[in-house]
Amino acid sequence: MQKTINILNKRAKFDYEIIDKYTAGIVLTGTEIKSIRLGKASIAESFCEFHNNELFVINATIEEYLYGNHYNHKAKSERKLLLNKKELKKLEKDSDNKGLTIIPLRMFTNEKGLAKLDIALCRGKKNYDKRESLKEKDTKRDLDRIKKSF
């Protein structure tokens, strides 16, 4: 049994208000999936865009495979995402609205060893929303400390 890989975009939930979530497959080459299985990937500053009715993830970094030869992949390149036609049409229509974008939340491997990407339709948070999120996080942490002491 293979160990599962779970690469998170930690800033996404802080910077964006999540409206809708989807799970998409990724079109990868052989050395890219090997690097992901080693955990050598980052989706921290990535986003998704439509080109010719197809969804691509941009700025996702998958490091070059250490044991790859001249067939190795580029670290930052556009990678096609696989979704149903109905989901693609809905996402394209929704992302055309002002202020909405598609952000990757998590890259993982499933039980079959295939790489998947959790993406979300998001709206950017304002600064006061971010301060509120930090305040809620602090109060939750303080309550947990108090509960633990009893």
- How far apart, in whole angstroms, are the C-alpha atoms of residue 124 and residue 103? 10
Helix (H, G, I), strand (E, B) or coil at 140: helix
- Give pLDDT tens digits along the chain (150 positions): 467 788 888 888 888 889 999 999 999 888 888 888 888 899 998 999 999 999 999 999 888 888 877 778 888 889 999 999 999 999 999 888 888 999 999 999 988 889 999 999 999 888 888 888 889 999 999 999 999 888
> What are the structure tokens assigned to 5, written together?
């890989």
Q: What is the pLDDT of residue 70?
A: 78
Q: What is the pLDDT of residue 2?
A: 62
93: part of which helix (H) or strand (E)?
helix 85-95
